Structure 1
Amino acid sequence: MGTIDIAPGDFIFDMALDLKLVIGFVVATLAFIYVPVLNETIARPALGLVMLLFVPGYALIAALFPGKNDVDGMERAALSFGLSIAVVPLIGLGLNFTPWGIRLDPIVVCLTIFTIACCLVANRRRHELDEADRFTIDLARAYNEIKEEVLAGKTSLDKALTIVLVISIVLSICMAAYAIMVPKQGEKFTEFYILGPDGKADNHLTRYVLGDQKPVIVGVVNHEYRNVTYDLVVSLNDSVTVTRLYSERLALGDNQTWEKRIEVKPDRVGTNMKMEFLLYIDGNMAIPYRECHLWVTVTAPSG
């Protein structure tokens, strides 16, 4: 093979159709993840599923095998699924050791960079080959390869078993996609928690001088799969007298989080009194739906 002259930038602007489609798919997936209205449609999980299970592997295979005779169409498709299943967890494992962690934004950024980088490498490597040797999408050739792989040179039983296997694989992929896009409704519950003034689950301020007002962070997360109205009540209980120190009504949508820093001021002196954080649901004030408490001591002012 002779030397191939590549003008600067040619390998980027003269990109093959399949690589253009991959990059276009990545851009479309980003739009359906982050653009309002679009990210509320069923297309978001569908595109995300393909982005996780096929696209990164396809881009990597394109970079590793730029020639049309390196691997055939069936092998290229199968390896695309296999490598995607290998690459995505490895990216997640790497992110786990970074300050960003395994969250949506870092994963999306890393997968996008990885896929586009592989596409650029693949296009550069293809331009280093003769045009006749470069891999290109040929639907007629792909159909003939699949037909030959599935049917040619096989007995009737082998053909039937192959067809059943292909149908089983397609059904498995469809069922997995359905399970991801339409997850089964889990247990209904509400998270209710209190945090110290530094936002941690410890270091609560439990010693007061009468007249002091100290902060407590209260959080509620609605996992009831419906809109819910809650009533938050903070009371002080010394086994003899119960007094209300704070109350607030809040309405939360499904999977919505409410967190607020409230100031609590005990109204009397006492030792090891129970400061109760009570959460009622749907206007039922008879029995608390969730409860947290702190044991506080309030002393009289000195002097």
Structure 2
Amino acid sequence: MGLKKYWDLLTIITLSALLNILILYFPDSLARKVLGLSFILFFPGYVFITTLSPNKQELDNLERLALSFGLSIAIVPLIGLGLNYTPWGIRFIPLLISLTIFNVIFAIIAIYRRSTAFEPWVPWITMERVKNELEWESSSKLDKALTIILILAILTSIGTLSYVITHPKPGEAFTEFYILGPNGKGSDYPTTMTIAQNATIIIGIVNHEHRNVTYYVQIWLVNLTWDNTTNTTIIHEMYPMPGWFNVTLPPVPVNIEGNWTPQFERNYTFSINKPGRWQVWFLLFKDKTPTLPPAPPDGNYAETNAKNLILEAIKGTIQSLKLNVDVRP
């Protein structure tokens, strides 16, 4: 019989190696997704149960099939749990390598166990063997109908699972909006300044909205206080600062494996010409920017409906950032 005696286990070794090649060179291919299902849901349990029970009389075909799926569902999380206590963690590449090693090692052990078995089990699928396994000839009409329904249910479940995995729902849509200090770090912000002193920060945006988005950034200089009596925010002064801008960005996927990289960043230099405790608010709008009322003679929008932008930002209904600045004479 030669190598034909081990055709199933050699096939699993070959397909496991092939999946690694597909992931490396053709990560978005349909073949990678289809093969990945078997790699996770069938191969680990199959090589494991074949290692444990190489003889024909130990288990019948249906039991081996069911245990292959069931054990795979148990083995994969256990490998992930083990990776969680290693420096690599539960990440895609370490998990792929670990499962590949598991499949190959146990397939090799299963080949050895089958070669020494006194009556080895070798899967040959023919209609006659399927009928014998199902005891088709001796079954009643009701049993035959129930068997057909069961097979259809299994095929439907596998098809549904395959579709869900190969056509995943898009992840949560969101936008990264951040400001950094002049050195590109989340520190050294210009929180203390003198009148007319120039200060620089970095404004960053990353689009994870799964579509092209035009972003509008408004920048306001605000003086406000909190009234403990009425539990309300009182805006005393609100001035538009120069440097408003808009930018259209394509969507980028969330990368949890590699190093984070910025998509759009812009240096913003500003100065404040009045002493006091101020807040510089950065408001982010998607696709369109709200209409502002006519500019007041003194430029202070605190007595106009524009103050609602800051109030909504405080509530969190407008995506925003703020920088507290103490301006000294």
- In which range does the TM-score fall when normalised by the shorter chain? 0.7 to 0.9
1:271·1:296 contact (CA, 8 Å) conserved in 2? no
In our comparison, the structure showing a higher alpha carbon Rg is 2
CA distance in 2, matches of 1:160, 1:199: 69
After superposition, what is the alpha-carbon deviation per residue over 1:180-211, rounded to whole angstroms, capped at 9, x for unaligned? 22234576x432332656999x8673613244
Counterpart of 1:42, as a letter, is L
Partner of 1:81: 69
Kindly indicate whether residue 176 of structure 2 is the aligned counterpart of residue 192 of structure 1. Answer: yes
CA distance in 2, matches of 1:68, 1:127: 13
1:199·1:217 contact (CA, 8 Å) conserved in 2? no
Label 1:262 to 1:24 Cα distance change in 2 as closer, same or farther (>3 A): same
CA distance in 2, matches of 1:296, 1:68: 75
Partner of 2:105: 117
Label 1:169 to 1:195 Cα distance change in 2 as closer, same or farther (>3 A): farther
1:261-300 equivalences in 2 (<5 Å) = 263-268=267-272, 270-282=275-287, 284-286=288-290, 291-300=319-328
1:230-241 equivalences in 2 (<5 Å) = 230-238=215-223, 239-241=237-239
**Greater shift after overlay, 162-171 or 247-256?**
247-256
**Greater shift after overlay, 107-116 or 262-271?**
262-271
Which consecutive unaligned segments of at least 5 residues does structure 1 have? Answer: 1-12
Which consecutive unaligned segments of at least 5 residues does structure 2 have? Answer: 224-236, 255-260, 292-308, 310-316
Partner of 1:5: none
Deviation of 1:215 (Å): 4.5
**Greater shift after overlay, 254-263 or 290-299?**
254-263
Kindly indicate whether residue 21 of structure 2 is the aligned counterpart of residue 31 of structure 1. Answer: yes
TM-score by length of structure 2 reads 0.71
The alignment yields a C-alpha RMSD, in angstroms, of 3.4
1:213·1:263 contact (CA, 8 Å) conserved in 2? no
Label 1:270 to 1:95 Cα distance change in 2 as closer, same or farther (>3 A): farther
Deviation of 1:105 (Å): 1.5
Partner of 1:181: 166
2:278·2:324 contact (CA, 8 Å) conserved in 1? yes
Label 1:179 to 1:276 Cα distance change in 2 as closer, same or farther (>3 A): same
Partner of 2:231: none
Aligned length: 280
After superposition, what is the alpha-carbon deviation per residue over 1:92-131, rounded to whole angstroms, capped at 9, x for unaligned? 222333343322222212111111111122123233345x
CA distance in 2, matches of 1:271, 1:97: 52
Kindly indicate whether residue 7 of structure 2 is the aligned counterpart of residue 17 of structure 1. Answer: yes
Label 1:24 to 1:272 Cα distance change in 2 as closer, same or farther (>3 A): farther
Kindly indicate whether residue 240 of structure 2 is the aligned counterpart of residue 255 of structure 1. Answer: no
Deviation of 1:290 (Å): 5.2
TM-score by length of structure 1 reads 0.77
CA distance in 1, matches of 2:155, 2:275: 69
Partner of 2:214: 229
CA distance in 2, matches of 1:191, 1:244: 23
CA distance in 1, matches of 2:238, 2:29: 55
Aligned residues: percent identity?
32
In structure 1, the residue corresponding to 2:13 is in which secondary structure?
Answer: helix
Partner of 2:86: 98
CA distance in 1, matches of 2:144, 2:271: 83
CA distance in 2, matches of 1:199, 1:102: 30
Partner of 1:207: 191
Kindly indicate whether residue 164 of structure 2 is the aligned counterpart of residue 160 of structure 1. Answer: no
In structure 2, the residue corresponding to 1:221 is in which secondary structure?
Answer: strand
- What is the aligned counterpart of 1:218 among 199, 204, 214? 204
